[in-house]
Structure 1
Amino acid sequence: MVHSTSQSALGRLVERNPEMSAADLLEYFHPPAQFAHASLDNYVPDDRYPSQQEALVAVQQFAVGGTFRNGGAKSWFGKAKTSASTAERPGIYLDGGFGVGKTHLLAALWHSTPGRTYYGTFIEYTALVGALGYRGAVEHLKGADFLAIDEFELDDPGDTMVMSRLLGELVATGTRLAATSNTPPNALGEGRFAAEDFLREITALSDKFLTVRIEGEDYRKRDFDGHAVSFTADQLDRIASHSAQGVTRDSFEQVVNHLRLIHPSRFVGLVRDLAMVILDDVHVLHDQAQALRLVALVDRLYDQQVAIAASGVALDEVFDDTMLSGGYRKKYLRATSRMIALSRLVESPGA
């Protein structure tokens, strides 16, 4: 139930249904605001983990079109390559855990690459294909000098084959690639589908990239600790009454239902110009389709640093145990950490 206090002054997420052209969608294919100033000069490797310095060197070499000379460079399937063979690979793949600086390096590479460039998450690229159709996506991306793909993850056979084919066509016309993931390349698709049945497609993707492993501790670990901030209905009323423009208020259930009516490629338009979303009566999700749509929404909220104020179940407990132990576990953990961080952007209204 949505409470009425100051509701007339607030917008509603469920009343937003953005229409976005291909040009509108591609306009958002750039690094999120927190990486707007990322550069190779302001990436600070942790001396305790030499692979971070090695990764920086590898990215610097890739940025100028050079070969990879550091010993950490391997193919996706672990075989060391010579400098001559690595020079032929049009892509670099940064493999490591959460918060070791992969996205910083990817954004820095995007900023330092001249020409026509695009930056998006894996989900955004597959959503773009869904919105424009395969051929439409190829036509709009063809001729790009560089594609950056963050959070590379193969969730189903369709995505595997589509991305393999798409990247193959783009590379054939001279596009260079860079990707990040916290999933080792030979484990992409593990737990989600019979990966061995799609080895040809996975291998076709792997042949386009050189892997650079980055070790280290998660510098954002504080965002994973503890729980998301949760408010009472009265506290949300007070938050709403002191809110300026750019704030929406809806019931969690209504938002979850609304997301199924909007293509994920347009979620970026759904949250455009928002400063905060208020969600009443959050509850645990048991439907995987609903959960994955929420993950996609949270990614867009996080990119725009839109705060979340919520009542009911804490946001870090919204995915049930079955989901957290299944094939999409890493997606849900990423979304959980981001919801914790976004909930902490809300100033407490007091008791």
Structure 2
Amino acid sequence: MPNPEDSVSRQLEAMIVAGTISRDPAQLGIARRLDHLLAALAGSRAQRKSNALGWLFAARKRENPPLKGLYIYGGVGRGKTMLMDLFYETVPIQRKRRAHFHAFMADVHERIFKHRQKLKNGETRQADPIPPVASELFAEARLLCFDEFSVTDITDAMILSRLFGELFAKGCVLVATSNVEPVNLYREGLNRDLFLPFIDLLKSYADIVPLDTGTDYRMSKMEGLPVWLSPLGPQADAGMERAWKTAMDGRVVTTAEVAHKGRKIKIPAAAGTCARFSFGELCERPLAAADYLAILTHYDTIFIDHIPHLGPERRNETKRFILLVDTIYDRGARLFATAVAPPADLLTARNGTEGFEFDRTVSRLIEMQSAEYAKNSHR
């Protein structure tokens, strides 16, 4: 655990000296920006501490000028999450929250639902759920840190401007990482015009900073790791755990949900842009190609445990597996899997359409194991 008195820059330099990471001027530049914000938050905390109830009155006054957060964007594996985690662990305030953006929004929707239930039951007269929900969130956390900020759900897009308008007005500070700059958030989303005010709001309350480094550090760590492990057994499971731990890169693993057409697709294990499933969770459930696409919109690296032999007795599972592999391949995502056999030996009987289609699946699974595919992944 970092020393609370350390700066992000000093911690980064210590990791460089120890050989844990390589020196990267772009990362050090972001670290210095985070140091400035850390100092500002610490100073603001000290000022408020003179009045034990100071934070209760924060909603009645706005900081002048408002304390601006950071929105850090850049490609996959550039070190954004590492920098934000160092900052979060170091910043000396208690009311802080670090969350995957989609998990945070799921919490927001749950709070909105509960408020509407209270209104229905006559427990409140406040018809608009956004102000009380924002007040609850701010009472719990003045600092919000979001990893992998992306907006794909129309319901999220419609409430973000109002929700964060309330939060920022109360003095909430946002630090977020994303693969895209704000102007590209929800880029081709339905009714995007209604989302655009949030982009302007974000620019007013957070400095937009690119992390320009040409090195994908996560990919370099994962080079040489086996992608397809077979046959099933302790050795394959151990190899999978090593790959999973490397991909996590110190992130906290949580359960998650992906909203799709009014349903919630459960993600049993997720961290950053990586998600892990058993074969049954992906191919024995009634999921379709659109569901797999929704998952791949949020996650660029998929881990699948214990792929069995496929045959006539598992026809539906075989069809779903073919769709899943097609979707992973088309999205340029990475796949790590443990299986009962190599790809060419998975299908026990080549009957009907699935037999011909599985030839394509085998070809793609073999290509996904190549260094060239890994280099060009997330395209």
Bucket of the pairwise TM-score, normalised by the shorter protein: 0.5 to 0.7
**What's 1:145 paired with?**
142
Is 2:105 the partner of 1:107?
A: no
Contact 2:306/2:340 (8 A) holds in 1: no
- The percent of aligned pairs where both chains have the same amino acid is 22
Counting only pairs closer than 5 Å after superposition, residues 318-333 of structure 1 correspond to structure 2 as 318=324, 320=326
Q: How does 1:112-131 map to 2 (within 5 A)?
A: 112-113=90-91, 114-131=93-110
Preserved CA contact (<8 Å) 1:146 1:176: yes
Report the CA distance between 1:102 and its aligned residue: 0.8
Q: CA deviation at 1:93?
A: 0.7
User: How many angstroms does 1:200 deviate by?
Assistant: 2.2
Superposition TM-score, scaled by structure 2 size: 0.52
Distance 1:195 1:280, change over 3 A: closer
3-state SS of paired residue (1:99)? coil
Q: 1:269 to 1:282 in 2, by over 3 A?
A: closer
Deviation of the 1:174 alpha carbon: 2.1
The question of whether the paired residues in 2 share the 8 Å contact of 1:91 and 1:176 is answered with: yes
Q: Would you say the 8 A contact 1:121–1:152 is kept in 2?
A: yes
Name 1:287's counterpart in structure 2: 289
Q: Does 1:221 align with 2:216?
A: no
Residue 132 of structure 1 pairs with residue 114 of structure 2: no
**Unaligned stretches of 5+ in structure 1?**
1-37, 67-85, 244-255, 326-331
1:23-43 deviations in Å (ceiling 9; x for gaps): xxxxxxxxxxxxxxx955333
Number of aligned pairs? 256
Superposition pairs of residues 295-306 of structure 1, within 5 angstroms? none
Q: CA deviation at 1:287?
A: 2.5
C-alpha displacement of 1:184 = 1.4
Q: 1:95 aligns with which of 68, 73, 76?
A: 73
C-alpha contact (below 8 Å) 2:149/2:178 kept by paired residues: yes
Equivalent residue for 2:54? none
User: Which whole-Å CA distance do the structure 1 matches of 2:321 and 2:74 have between them?
Assistant: 26
Cα deviation code 1:124-181 (max 9, x no counterpart): 1121123332747535412222100111112144322322222222222222110000
Residue-by-residue CA offset, 1:293-347 (whole Å, 9 max, x unaligned): 5776x79x99xxx9834346899983535x876xxxxxx65xx44x53xx4xx79
- RMSD of aligned C-alpha atoms? 5.0
Q: Conserved in 1, the CA contact under 8 Å of 2:12 and 2:28? A: no
Question: Which one of the candidate residues 171, 174, 199 is aligned to 2:171?
Answer: 174
- Residues 261, 182 of structure 1: alpha-carbon distance in 2 compared, 3 angstrom cutoff: closer
Equivalence for 1:61: 36
Q: Which has the higher contact order (CA 8 A, sep 6+)?
A: 1
Looking at structure 2, the residues matched to 221 and 319 of structure 1 have their Cα atoms a distance apart, in angstroms, of: 21
Give the helix-richer structure, 1 or 2.
2
Contact 2:72 2:176 in 1 (8 A): yes
CA distance 1:198–1:279, change in 2 (3 Å): closer
Q: Supply the distance in 1 between the matched residues of 2:186 and 2:261 (Cα, whole angstroms).
A: 24
In the alignment, which of 17, 41, 44 is matched to residue 10 of structure 2?
Answer: 41
**Following TM superposition, by how much is the alpha carbon of 1:97 offset from its aligned partner in structure 2, in angstroms?**
1.0
Q: Secondary structure at the match of 1:147?
A: strand
5+ residue gaps in structure 2? 1-6, 42-63, 114-128, 239-256, 311-317, 346-379
- Stretch deviating more after TM superposition (194-203 or 111-120): 194-203
**Cα 1:99–1:193 shift into 2, 3 Å:** same
Is residue 9–residue 28 contact of structure 2 (8 Å, CA) maintained in 1?
no
Larger Rg, first or second structure (1 or 2): 2
Q: Distance in 1 between matches of 2:67 and 2:236?
A: 56
> Could you tell me how far apart the structure 2 residues matched to 1:188 and 1:116 are?
27
